Structure 1
Amino acid sequence: MSRRPFVALAIAETLSISGTRLSGIAVPWLVLSTTGSPMLTGLVAMMEMLPYVVAKALGGPLIDRLGPKRIALICDSVSVMTVGLVPVLHLIGMLTMPILLPIVFVMGLLRGPSDAAKQSMVPDIAKLASVPLERVTGVVGAIERLASTAGAAGAGALIALIGPSQALAVNALTFAAAAVMVAAGIPRLRHAPKAEAAGITAYGRELAEGWLFLRRDAVLVAMTLMVATTNLFDQALATVLLPVWIQGSGHGPVLLGTLFAIFSGASIAGAVIAAMIGERLPRLAVYTVAFLLTGFPRFLVFALDSPLALIFVTLAIGGFASGFLNPILSAVLFERTPKPLIGRVTSLNAAFCWALLPVGGLVGGLLINAWGLSAALLVTGLAYFAATLAPLAHGSFRGFEKKKFADNILSL
């Protein structure tokens, strides 16, 4: 039994996720504060998320062929230089929208395969540590929430102190440190023997194998569609609706970072509990209740311009509930996926879950322009609520409780 790879993955995830959270606040705030346009803010968010989703979907065969460690190292190393361009260009007065957009595009292009590669390491890390899969996914979920909290809180402070573009220099450093941890602490993890065939035809065949498996699993299809829909509205809230609400209420980036930190911080407690007792909880009931608590109430309190105290409490409750979601989703995905298809299926699943994120910011901007901020918040919140009722209406979700491939994964 070895805990070193798990510790290395945990640290790498903490660094990369906190950095990503920082850039997720800094880049929209940079655009909104310099242009004042919700539409341009949504456009920049789309320019990052669209290549992220596509690269994540197409990167699965490469992960299975080359190994997740190599893919993570390459992407994180190049991300250091890409993200670092923003503060450098801003410093010399050359950062304009036509230049920022392609930089943001490349940032998303690199983040997609890197995130997918790290996720595909989890079953092997669980086996090396000799612990239940739910416990590892729960711990990873807690780490993700902790990193998001630190990144959000740090983003608000850094943006207020040195400005949004220069705050991205810290993001570049987090990618560099994550690459070092992966290189030094994680062994080479091979999900399947290297394919003997090469070229576009073999690559397409391998990608199709992952797609066919995912498409034929009714549980994974239902789960993916639901998460994709809720992610759309989460993205609209995070990248456009909430920054516009903050700016319109007379507050600054510190409050924006604080709100994200409260939500993420409370979710740490939920993820820790999921790690401790997740294997004993009724998955479907916990999943359904958690989504109902973490969704619509957040949109409602902002639509009603509620007092900050009520907003903080609502975000804390929703954050705590959300801490249970990713451990359940990850455990179901890994248990139902055969070992040789891990890279392809997890990459495609994640890409489809994120498929609507590129238009989330644009949806938020369009709704604000059409109906105003309060109506936009209420409409997106009600749509989110409708999506969270899916487990009660769709029979496929009952398959959450079945552990189809668990023994296959953990015994290899």
Structure 2
Amino acid sequence: MTTPDQTSSRQLSPLILLNLATLFSATGNGIVIVALPWLVLEQTGRATDAAIVAGAATLPLLLASLFSGTVVDRFGRRPTSLASDALSALSVAAIPVVAGTIGLSVPALAVLAALGATFDPAGISARESMLPAATRAAGWRLDRVNSLYEANYNVAYLIGPGVGGLLIALIGPESTLWVTSVCFVLSIVTIAFLRLEHAGRPDHATRPKSMWTGTLEGLRFVWRDRLLRTLALVDMVIVALYMPIESVLFPKYFTDRSEPAQLGWVLMAMSVGGLVGALSYGALAPYLKRRNLMLVAVTGLGLAMIGMAFLPPLWVLLGLSVVIGLVYGPVGPIANWAMQTRSPEHMRGRVVGVMTSTAYAAGPLGYLLAGPLIDQLGIRSTFFVLAIPVVAVAAVCFALPVLRELDADRMPPTVRLGSPS
């Protein structure tokens, strides 16, 4: 006979395993964020080379994430997550192997970075697609689960860059990448124990007929949904303008100052703020409008980026980093809620994949623009070039009525005149 505690444990176990696997995988990626640009800058000292490698790691994400949802819907969520982490572990391990044998060049590192980035989106889409089923198993609200899940990501990016910066100082960037491979292996082991509804191979009747037709179905669905389309476009612009700061500007700034640990601290401060922001969303979601939180997030991000552009003392940078994470923390849970509530079960992987791919679409352009700008104009001017458009995006968001649909579940039902009472 099972006790109530045992039943509760079984209901919560899918959610625990899913978050634990995400923690391991994202921590590995957090280490890579620090290790790869540091490895390039240590060899050449040129921001353009770091931007090339960052762009090479981002460019495959567009196509890979675009098709990743179709992979999930065709082959199943759990099998896709296992395969994705296995391939990611092998591709990251190849970097120190090549470095220790034939030696690394910038083109070789760019190819290896691109290969490693190709496998990540499928695993991310697979795990995110399993969240609604884990929510039902736990008996929680979607807002609460999404809050926990995004906070988990922030924990990973709190641990990853911090550990990465410290390991670089202790054992060097090449050896640090071995830790990333171990993180992916731990994610594989965790998912291997996961048993969840809709996690296995999909029914033949609901599977996409082919990779191409499945992806087109996902694209059409997102484009025809006004809210999802708007969120995707806003996120695409924000990612293009913000990601070069983490992956190019700050690595260049702290490399010039020979301060790898400080780079880790800044990225950790962003994750601390994001952790608090995401967790706070879970508690405040029943009382605050999602639209208002989105507007605060984009506006706060732009203003904090402008503050960073002045390159103030470290303690000010750390404070602004916390603010960025804090105000932007709820955005992930809000976007997840929109995808989960507006997509049918059999298409969820494709919707998640398409939404993810739009975030990566402008990423390579941002990286490739930031590197030459730093070499020509300097870090401070490049900061302003990236920060000011974010404030403009915030102003546009205030004028978008479609964002009111983020609170559609809280609107009273419309009563039509002449309808029966």
TM-score, normalised via structure 2 length: 0.91
Residue 378 (structure 1) shift: 0.7
Q: Does 1:288 align with 2:276?
A: no
The aligned residue for residue 101 of structure 2 is 92
* Amino acid in the other structure paired with 1:150: I
Q: Does 1:226 align with 2:234?
A: yes
**Cα distance change, pair 65–93 in 1 and its aligned pair in 2 (3 A):** closer
Structure 1 vs Structure 2: percent identity of aligned residues? Answer: 25
Q: Does 1:33 align with 2:39?
A: no
* Amino acid in the other structure paired with 1:97: V
* Amino acid in the other structure paired with 1:393: A
The aligned residue for residue 149 of structure 1 is 158
Q: Secondary structure at the match of 2:193?
A: helix
TM-score, normalised via structure 1 length: 0.92
Residue 109 (structure 1) shift: 0.7
Q: Deviations over 1:91-115 (max 9, x none)?
A: 3352222322221111011112111
In 2, Cα distance between equivalents of 1:206 and 1:357: 24
Q: Secondary structure at the match of 1:387?
A: helix
Larger mean Cα displacement after TM superposition, 33-42 or 272-281: 272-281
**Cα distance change, pair 186–156 in 1 and its aligned pair in 2 (3 A):** farther
The aligned residue for residue 173 of structure 2 is 164
Residue 319 (structure 1) shift: 1.5
In 2, Cα distance between equivalents of 1:313 and 1:223: 28
In 2, Cα distance between equivalents of 1:40 and 1:384: 25
Q: Does 1:261 align with 2:268?
A: yes
In 1, Cα distance between equivalents of 2:403 and 2:219: 20
In 1, Cα distance between equivalents of 2:195 and 2:32: 26
Q: Deviations over 1:75-103 (max 9, x none)?
A: 11122111111122223352222322221
Select 2:17's aligned residue among 8, 14, 22. Answer: 8
Q: How does 1:59-208 map to 2 (within 5 A)?
A: 59-92=68-101, 94-187=103-196, 189-190=198-199, 193-195=202-204, 202-208=210-216
* Amino acid in the other structure paired with 1:374: R
Structure showing greater radius of gyration is 2
Q: Secondary structure at the match of 1:95?
A: coil
The aligned residue for residue 368 of structure 1 is 374
Q: RMSD in angstroms over aligned alpha carbons? A: 1.9
Residue 192 (structure 1) shift: 8.8
The aligned residue for residue 334 of structure 1 is 340
Residue 270 (structure 1) shift: 1.4
Residue 240 (structure 1) shift: 1.1
Contact 1:192 1:340 in 2 (8 A): no
Residue 196 (structure 1) shift: 5.1
Select 1:322's aligned residue among 321, 328, 335. Answer: 328
Q: Deviations over 1:205-246 (max 9, x none)?
A: 222221111111111111111111010111111111111222
The aligned residue for residue 244 of structure 1 is 252
Residue 188 (structure 1) shift: 6.0
**Cα distance change, pair 313–203 in 1 and its aligned pair in 2 (3 A):** closer
Runs of 4+ in 1 over 3 A off after TM superposition: 190-193, 195-199
**Cα distance change, pair 240–156 in 1 and its aligned pair in 2 (3 A):** same
In 2, Cα distance between equivalents of 1:327 and 1:57: 21
Residue 181 (structure 1) shift: 0.3
The aligned residue for residue 65 of structure 2 is 56
Q: Secondary structure at the match of 1:359?
A: helix
Contact 1:137 1:330 in 2 (8 A): yes
Q: Secondary structure at the match of 1:59?
A: helix
